[in-house]
A = this chain, B = another copy of it.
Amino acid sequence: MSSKAQVYKSQETVPAFLFDLDGTLVDSVYQHVLAWREALERVGTQLSVWRIHRRIGMSGGLLVNALLRETGHSITQTDELRLQTFHAEAYAKLAAQVRPLPGVVELLQHLSAVKVPFANATSGLIDSPRPALDLLSLNSSIPIVTRDQVRHAKPDPGSLSGLPRRQKCVGVRRLRARCSFDRDV
């Protein structure tokens, strides 16, 4: 066996984990739901909270479109950006209530201790995951793929295909990661 083949074999046997953030690492879904309710209300749209909850897991853009389709509204790109801004403002007011999901901090500490690389892929925009990652006491060098770094967000697998650019950080040459999302991708 060549030396090159041995390196590949060794790297392929290293497990790696790719985690979603909201609803997987941090218990933030209810705060996001209420923040979307407030954002929608600011543009004159009233929706029951459960209707919003069932769309959570999509990126903000897909979610806004899905919700407004339910109300029969069409939406311009400007409206979509306004809603995302309103959501971010409303979420910021609720973010202090967010906690890590039970066991997550211990799990990530264990992965770090046994040198298993992991990364985070979220449909949030750049910088938006930082407060949640701070909750988890994560090293700032943990690779993160955010919505604005991929062409399409969940449920499109774009957030996975965006990761190869960060494989060097994750530490595996071919990504054979276990993915943990709160809905199928």
Contacts and interface: CB of A to CB of B under 8 A. Distances in A.
A31 B97 CA distance: 12
Q: Is the interface of A mostly helix, strand, loop or mixed?
A: helix
A22 B27 CA distance: 23
A44 interface: no
B97 A46 contact: no
A42 interface: no
A49 interface: yes
Copies of this chain per assembly: 2
Interface residues of A, number: 17
A49 B30 contact: yes
A97 B29 CA distance: 16
A38 interface: yes
A33 interface: yes
Interface string A95-138: 00101011000000000000000000000000000000000000
Contact of A46 (B41, B48, B99): B99
A37 interface: yes
A31 B49 CA distance: 10
B97 A38 contact: yes
A38 B31 CA distance: 13
A67 interface: no
Interface of A: 27, 29-31, 33-34, 37-38, 41, 46-49, 97, 99, 101-102
